[in-house]
Amino acid sequence: MKSFSTKSLSLPDQTQQTKRKQKHSIAQDEEEEDEDNEEKARCEWDFKLSTIVSSSTSIGAVSDTLGAIELDPSDTLVATGGIARKIRVYSLSTLLPDEEEHVDNVSSTTLLDHASACDYYVCTPAKLSSLRWKPGSGNRVLGSGDYDGVVMEYDLERKIPIFERDEHGGRRVWSVDYSHWDPVIGASGSDDGTMQIWDPRYEGGKCVATVQPSVSRSPVCSVEFNPFGGALVAVGCADRRAYGYDVRNLGDPVVVFDGHGKTVTYVRFLDDHMIVSAGTDGCLKLWNVDDSTRVIRTYKGHVNSRSFVGLSVWRNGGLLGCGSENNRVFVYDKRWGEPIWVHGFEPVTGPRCDHGFVSSVCWGQVGEDQCTLLAGGSDGVLQVFVGKRKLFSY
């Protein structure tokens, strides 16, 4: 499962730590002042657990931890990957029961088995940490990053690998992403302390550029291109910072987001100018790329001090979703720092199993008054939630 020990992280020297603490203190005072003036959080959505997908043969098995969930851009197909060295592909329609069948019992939940629910699966040579659908491929090509430091692409129609890139020196690849331009380029972040941008049209992936965000080569945990077509690529790093680079000139970052107390595990674009970051300090933070000196808002409530628990944003609804080390799913509205909805996974049962944690989340992006949220657990269980905007207003 994705996790960091503090012994494995490169920490800044004492002088840097002192300056950072002073800066954090000032920023925290400003945030607390904003929070005092903030209206109370309210939930404008009705969420329910629609479907639970588990495996009858390996309940609670650590070997089935779900580290990545990805919905294709049309919200038609779901791909999952993790410790089990297997990419499973599902039709979302299979995971969402017919609403008419549940009219009389709105609280009913459908129970499915992975083996029968998934359309097909593809075996992978290593444990997976990241998945991403390749733009322009018609939902046919899926990219992955793995624990052996390799980036691969799979042709899902033929169920075979069609591209392999091994340029991170065998160090774990935490994150992969693709640009939304034509031609498409890719990026990967690794334990080797670099983000590499590459062109998948060339065999082996010709390296376009390599960026090392931190002098100490702290692991790069997350990369994401601006999905709205801008030139910015966001990078989350174990040096407690997030960075924004202009792909047209990758010499130095154009923005630095310095506000987390521990490793930045995820960065996600909420819109063309807003970025959300997640850290193992137990916080999500909202930033404006035009003014990175101040955190717009900090979101607290979930538990995250060690593991990768997932971060996803639903742009149409302005909602943030993340997992938690207390085995719960948290939903935040971008307007308020407190969660608007929390749902607990059932405790893991089985020999030598703890209570587990929620290890990955993913929002569907289609729709405005209705949404879909998927969450995966360290026990391999996939849960599907549906949300509908409430008809009344406050």
Tell me the pTM: 0.87
Residue-level pLDDT at 374:
98
Segment among 113-122, 325-334, 346-355 with least mean pLDDT: 346-355
Q: Give the whole-angstrom CA distance, residue 33 versus residue 89.
A: 46
The least confident of 44-48, 131-135, 350-354 is 350-354
- Closest of 66, 117, 92 to residue 376, by C-alpha: 66
CA–CA gap between residue 33 and residue 31 (Å, rounded): 5
- Between 5-14, 36-45, 114-123, 351-360, the lowest mean confidence (pLDDT) is in 5-14
Q: What is the CATH number of domain 65-91+122-337?
A: 2.130.10.10
Q: Which two tokens stand for residue 344?
A: 């607990």
Enter the tokens of residue 355: 């209570």
Q: Residue 319 and residue 339: Cα distance in Å, rounded? A: 10
> Counting Cβ atoms within 10 Å, is residue 190 exposed (0-12), middle (13-18) or buried (19+)?
buried
Separation of alpha carbons 2 and 376, rounded Å: 13
**Model pLDDT, residue 274:** 96
Distance CA 346, CA 44 (A): 25
> d(Cα 371, Cα 323) in Å, to the nearest integer?
17
pLDDT tens for residues 219-246? 999 999 999 999 999 999 999 999 999 9
Check if the beta carbon of residue 47 is closer than 8 Å to that of residue 383. no
Domain boundaries of the chain, sorted by first residue: 65-91+122-337
Strand, coil or helix: 6: helix
Exposure string for 114-125, b = 16+ CB within 10 A, e = fewer: beebbeebbebe
The pLDDT, as a whole number, for residue 24 is: 52
State the average pLDDT for the chain.
87
Q: Which band of pLDDT confidence, cut at 50, 70 and 90, is reported for residue 97?
A: confident
pLDDT level of residue 352 (50, 70, 90 thresholds): very low
pLDDT tens per residue, range 186-197: 999 999 999 999
Residue predicted with more confidence, 35 or 141: 141
* Residue 363 CB coordination number (10 Å): 25
Report the candidate in 218, 217, 195, 219 with the shortest Cα–Cα distance to residue 208. Answer: 195
Q: Is the dihedral of CA 73, 79, 80, 85 positive or negative?
A: negative
Mean pLDDT of 53-62: 66
Q: Residues with Cβ < 8 Å from 219, sequence gap 6 or more?
A: 4, 9, 174, 189, 190, 191, 192, 193, 237, 238, 263
Q: Which residue has the tokens 């062109």?
A: 199
Q: 261 and 303 in contact (C-beta within 8 Å)? A: no
